[in-house]
A and B are shown apart, each in its own frame.
Chain A
């Protein structure tokens, strides 16, 4: 199972919006609405921020939103804040009844 494809890095200025893409295949991202997104600060455990493509857990800022089109899912962060600087990972359930993560994207807030 190959990793989902994410850009290695993205950046934006405070207050701006950024989007991180996550591209898979019809056997994972495109085949199921089971894409989730995780935020991971250095040295810390990942934290769930989006599940089932576009749902936010309780306590996660509404500046985080998710969507999907075909085999590509996207995470958008609006109103960028310094605290958003982190690594972000997407994940999808697959037709093999396994899970696959993206390679991760480093977000820099300029």
Chain B
């Protein structure tokens, strides 16, 4: 069974940093691109970032460019999102998702990040 499990969320002050992890199982992680998608409370889904299967290429939404870094460790079957200079508007549930061609499937259960003083 394919599974994705996010961790690392929590409460952080504005300007602070947090690193999210997404541990996967049930498929060959190194063969797939991966995404991060977020959802602010009561709001819609917003794409955040994508990384190639070997980590050689990354791309970001304009709203997080220069502040967030996506990375992966294929030996540990783990995807990461390093979030710096956090703002209140970054408050959201963050989902990792496997990129199957141009769609997102499956998704993890998400981890909540709250940016507040």
Contact = CB atoms under 8 A, between A and B. Distances in A.
Interface of A: 1, 3, 32, 34, 36, 38, 40, 44-48, 51-52, 57, 89, 91, 93, 97-104
B26 interface: no
Contact of B44 (A45, A48, A103): A103
Interface of B is mostly: strand
15 contacts: A1-B62, A34-B102, A45-B107, A45-B108, A46-B45, A47-B106, A47-B107, A48-B105, A48-B106, A57-B105, A91-B103, A98-B61, A99-B47, A99-B102, A101-B47
A44 B39 CA distance: 12
A51 B37 CA distance: 17
Interface residues of B, number: 22
Contacts of A1: 61-62
Q: Please list the 10 inter-chain residue pairs (A to B) with the smallest Cβ-Cβ separation, ordered nearest first.
A: A34-B102, A36-B103, A48-B105, A104-B44, A51-B103, A45-B107, A99-B47, A101-B45, A93-B102, A103-B44
B59 A98 contact: yes
Given A45-B110, A99-B35, A38 B45 contact: yes
Contact of B103 (A40, A44, A48): A48
Given A47-B107, A103-B44, A97 B102 contact: no
A99 B50 contact: yes
B64 to A, nearest CB: 11
Interface string B55-66: 000010110000
B103 A46 contact: no
Interface in B98-117: 100-110
